[in-house]
């Protein structure tokens, strides 16, 4: 059973599982913001599907401190969010210490193994975000070809999968190969950020072809509307990833 530990330093509250390993963070004065760099990078999916009503339905696997859930709940209030979290104590801690809203018509927390939930679901989602780790930074079946195939089958025509990969623990190359196999090469991984996280994206349905200039314009609009600054992330992507014709394709 997971021990939930809460710590605070310099105005930031942290969630840990039985160790110093940080599983989530919240700046106490800005509880709806994305404090950790990798969570901001995961939310750069909003640069790839630019319809302001997207996503209409989202599945988040792994709750942590609820940062991604809270951000979407505030800035995409019409979206229906489903969160699959295996540990009930994580949900309780997120509600007590990290301002996670209670369930309502637009937010449903399900106590379930994420891989099992995907395999047994018949719902379609515009967005699936996978950020599930235990106290030893293990993903289990979430980082398997079978799970990525289940993700692809659950995505809508406008669907995107976003996965947090911890390269610091074991490298991400094998995980990216599994994503490429599951999604017919329609996958893209950002370079590792300072924390050691690699964020990977995979697409189903409608092809993505976006000019970097248009993406910068979208990033500026998002920053104005939400406070989320994705311009540095976009600059990292542009400097690292080959963008033929000045476009990101997925």
Mean per-residue pLDDT, 225-244: 87
- Residue 150 bears catalytic tag: no
Question: Is there a domain that residue 3 lies in?
Answer: no
Share of the chain above pLDDT 70, in %: 94
Q: Which CATH number does the domain housing residue 56 bear?
A: 3.40.50.150
Q: Which domain does 163 fall in, by range?
A: 35-208
Confidence of residue 241 (pLDDT cuts 50, 70, 90): confident
93-122 pLDDT, tens per residue?
999 999 999 999 999 999 999 999 999 999
Pick the catalytic residue from 126, 131, 143, 150: 131
Is 236 part of a structural domain of the chain? no
Total of domains in the chain: 1
Considering the domain boundaries, does residue 62 fall inside one?
A: yes
In a domain, 129, yes or no: yes
Residue 217 lies in a domain: no
Q: Does residue 219 sit within a domain?
A: no
- Give the Cβ contact number of residue 174 at 10 Å: 11
**Confidence category of residue 134, pLDDT binned at 50, 70, 90:** low
Contacts of 49 (CB under 8 A, 6+ apart): 55, 126, 127, 158, 160, 208
243 belongs to a structural domain: no
Among 107, 54, 52, CA closest to 80: 107
What is the pLDDT at residue 168? 52
Instruction: Give the global pTM.
Output: 0.94
Residue 111: inside a domain, yes or no? yes
Higher pLDDT, 197 or 215: 215
């Amino acid at each position: 059973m997971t021990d939930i530990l809460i710590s605070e330093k310099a105005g930031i509250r942290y969630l840990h599982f039985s160790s110093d390993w940080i599983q989530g963070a919240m700046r106490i004065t800005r509880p709806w913001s994305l404090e950790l760099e990798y969570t901001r990078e995961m939310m750069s999916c909003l640069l790839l599907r630019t319809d302001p009503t997207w996503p209409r339905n989202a599945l988040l696997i792994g709750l942590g401190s609820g940062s991604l859930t809270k951000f979407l709940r505030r800035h995409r209030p019409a979206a229906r969010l489903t969160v699959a979290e295996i540990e009930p104590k994580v949900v309780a801690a997120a509600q007590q210490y990290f301002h996670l809203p209670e369930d309502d018509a637009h937010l449903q927390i399900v106590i379930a193994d994420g891989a099992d939930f995907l395999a047994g679901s018949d719902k379609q989602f515009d967005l699936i975000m996978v950020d599930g780790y235990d106290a030893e930074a293990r993903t289990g079946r979430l980082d398997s070809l079978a799970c990525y195939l289940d993700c692809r089958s659950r995505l809508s025509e406008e669907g995107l999968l976003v996965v947090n990969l911890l390269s610091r623990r074991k490298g991400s190359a094998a995980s990216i190969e599994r994503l490429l196999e599951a999604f017919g090469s329609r996958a893209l991984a950002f370079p590792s950020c300072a924390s050691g996280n690699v964020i990977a994206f995979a697409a189903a349905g409608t092809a993505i072809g976006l000019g970097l200039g248009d993406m910068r314009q979208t990033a500026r609009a998002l920053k104005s509307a939400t406070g989320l600054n994705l311009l540095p992330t976009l600059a990292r992507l542009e400097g690292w990833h080959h963008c033929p014709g000045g476009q990101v394709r997925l």
